[in-house]
Amino acid sequence: MISADITCPDCGSKDTYEDEDRGEIVCSDCGLIIEENIMVDSQGSRPSKSIMESPQEYDQRLSKEEDEFVAKNSSEEFDPEWADSPVQVYSATTRKSLEESWDDWKGVSLEAEANKSVQRSSASRLLEEANTYLGADPSSRFNRSELFRPFFGLHSRGVSHRMTEDKLRPKADSLSATDKSEATKSIADAAANRTEKFRAKVSDERNLPGPVCTLLNSTGLPPRKYHVPGSVSLNGTQGFDSISKPRRIDFELYLDLNQIQNRPWPLHLWSEQILSGKGVREVLQKGGALSRKAGEYLLDLNQRSILKHDVSGFIQNLLDLEKIDFSSDVREEIEVESFGLLEEFSSSQIEHDGITTNLLDLFVQNYCLAAYQDSSKNQRIPTIFWRFDEHKKIDRLSNLTLISTPIAFAVATTVASKGHSCGSLFEIAHTDCIHGLTNADNIASLNQFWKFSLQEIGRNDLLSVLPL
């Protein structure tokens, strides 16, 4: 542990130090972890950039860690509490109680005493779990938090409960009963204060880790790994094991992005940015189970029409990611006209297969549903998503509409009508189709239907400006 010449951004103290064992720079006064995941080379200097992994490396590590966790925490037998469910949930292995573990760890331990009096709140538990997923906890080798910008904001790094308690905890050697009681009370008080301080972070729906906490809370999912037999699978005939928690949250945050943040974006580009690897294809193949909250997002998204807020959020993505650049006046004009174009499609009735529908719904149903590749049929099949109901049975939800596709087409068309380059916008509109994540056969059919729709609403003037 060496002195660090850094000022704490929270309290302004210059009394900071570097914990080499943990790879952290910590404020001695308030306990804030100022930097973490520090690497030191042979000359004793720190590299300027954080540890990064490729999608493949991240994917491999995640799979290995998941397998190790399952092997450690589940047996070959199935949980009798889920006997009435169509899925097979693995039983927990027999482990020592927490108090026994503490005692084994360090004789008569102060931590054991504190644990008896300090009950961690659900808010603290959710926060820790969310930070683990993001890699934002002090023990993580790779912090993914920044990968979620600009779609989600981030809370500033808070005080580590471990560091706070370490600071309060005296050496366990030769402690009197009074000393132990006082130390335990101090830790308990610190825990209560921490809970209040972090409560907002847990409930903030715009800034991480709040959205992750929401998805982790009361999921209705089995407590451990489970197997879905092929006989009850909603997507294909093959049985499969449960989706790992990080994979599930990756996808569920995409649902949050569309339904809560109103910032629709191609599913492929989302998974690529957050280094989801093959995770998105696994979710589309299996369809779930999703958490209860994510299931609500999915149902709400498919039961509503595209909103002006969705178009505005999509354009904001383009600006934040520097895909386009124009003034606020031009932006407002493009937003209004793009949304107006989608409204025209929505109000234009058409007969299809003996059913009266509208151009927008027909476009969405034929080309914009999240899908998986069925190898036996050699075609893309729209994924049927599901969750567990209150009786632990499979609750069929619906398909997922990838609304970024029609929005991207509308914005690109509007931009083209004003004489601006729109090729990159059509690339964004095509991306989920190109990567096989939708039920569209190919780009040509996708483009052709869009041009057909423009003709149907009498906007032939737009056809001549499209690079399709």
**167 and 299 both lie in a single domain:** no
**146 and 184 both lie in a single domain:** yes
Write down the mean pLDDT value for the chain. 82
Cα of 130 vs its chain's centroid, Å: 10
Asked if the structure places residue 352 within a domain, the reply is: yes
pLDDT surpasses 80 at 53: no
**282 and 199 both lie in a single domain:** no
Asked if the structure places residue 148 within a domain, the reply is: yes
**310 and 458 both lie in a single domain:** yes
| pTM assigned to the model | 0.76
Choice between 94 and 285, residue whose per-residue pLDDT is larger: 285
**148 and 297 both lie in a single domain:** no
CB 450 within 8 A of CB 414: no
* Separation between Cα atoms, residue 102 and residue 55, nearest integer Å: 37
pLDDT, tens digit (0-9, with 9 covering 90-100), for 399-447:
999 999 999 999 999 999 999 999 999 999 999 999 999 999 999 999 9
pLDDT surpasses 60 at 217: yes
Asked if the structure places residue 80 within a domain, the reply is: no
**187 and 225 both lie in a single domain:** no
Q: Domain span at residue 145? A: 120-204+212-217
pLDDT surpasses 50 at 99: no
pLDDT surpasses 50 at 47: no
pLDDT, tens digit (0-9, with 9 covering 90-100), for 322-361:
999 888 889 999 999 999 999 999 999 998 888 899 999 9
**319 and 432 both lie in a single domain:** yes
pLDDT score recorded for residue 118: 43
**433 and 334 both lie in a single domain:** yes
Asked if the structure places residue 54 within a domain, the reply is: no
* Separation between Cα atoms, residue 363 and residue 382, nearest integer Å: 14
Residue where one domain finishes, among candidates 217, 248, 274: 217
Domain CATH for 11: 2.20.25.10
Asked if the structure places residue 74 within a domain, the reply is: no
**430 and 298 both lie in a single domain:** yes
Alpha-carbon distance values, 53 to 45, 68, 270 (Å): 21, 20, 17
